[in-house]
Amino acid sequence: MVAMEDAVTSYESLKNNDKALLLLRGKYVNLKLIQNREANGFVHAIDPEGHSMILQEKHGEDYQMILVPGQAILNISVIDSIPSITPAKKSTPTTTNLELEARKRKLISWFKLNLLPVTEEGNNIVFRSVLILPPYDLRSIYSNNLIVTKQVRDIVEKMPEDFKES
């Protein structure tokens, strides 16, 4: 699996493993690319269709987002031993565990009210091929099918602000 320190994994073998791809988010990786190139950085996002990656690369004191096309990635290594580098902090307000749990319950109730079968898998909400991860907002919806992802986002967007879980 990818989580082993400095283990090199073929990116082609990961493309059909959505969970392994999700586990890469926030990890510091080394990407071996075509034409003997490399890219290093923290995985910010992975496109579920084209498997392109957005990396946060360290440039001096700042970070720069770069897009690495999926078809250019040959191998990937998760680098666990990087003590002097930490990913850029997001400027989102902190959410308490109680707020996250309330948001999760509210979203599950909204799906059930709309007669959509959802289950929980750990901290995640699962609806068929769709995973909704904490903090359970529009950017936390993942699927390998962009059309399904958009449809689920539309359902979540239609949930009223004052919706009460039942």
28-78 pLDDT, tens digit per residue, is 999 999 989 998 888 888 887 788 888 888 777 777 888 888 888 999 998
Judge whether residue 135 has pLDDT over 90: no
Rounded mean pLDDT of 148-164? 89
Higher pLDDT, 71 or 166: 71
Q: How confident is the model at residue 4 (pLDDT cuts 50, 70, 90)?
A: very low
Q: How confident is the model at residue 84 (pLDDT cuts 50, 70, 90)?
A: low
* CA separation for the pair 166, 159 (Å, rounded): 14
Q: Using CA atoms in the order 106, 112, 113, 115, what is the torsion angle rounded to 10 degrees?
A: 160
Whether residue 50 contacts residue 70, with contact meaning beta carbons closer than 8 Å, is answered with yes
Judge whether residue 123 has pLDDT over 60: yes
DSSP 1: -
Residues 6+ apart with CB under 8 A from 62: 88
Q: How confident is the model at residue 3 (pLDDT cuts 50, 70, 90)?
A: very low
Tokens of 111: 């799906």
The pLDDT value given to residue 15: 81
Most confident of 39-48, 94-103, 155-164: 155-164
Tokens of 62: 């700042």
Judge whether residue 90 has pLDDT over 60: no
Rounded mean pLDDT of 109-132? 89
DSSP 137: S
What pTM was estimated for this model as a whole?
A: 0.49
Whether residue 27 contacts residue 78, with contact meaning beta carbons closer than 8 Å, is answered with yes
Using CA atoms, how far residue 7 sits from 2, 24, 27, 139, in Å, is 6, 13, 13, 29
Rounded mean pLDDT of 102-107? 92
**By percentage, how much of the chain surpasses pLDDT 90?**
22
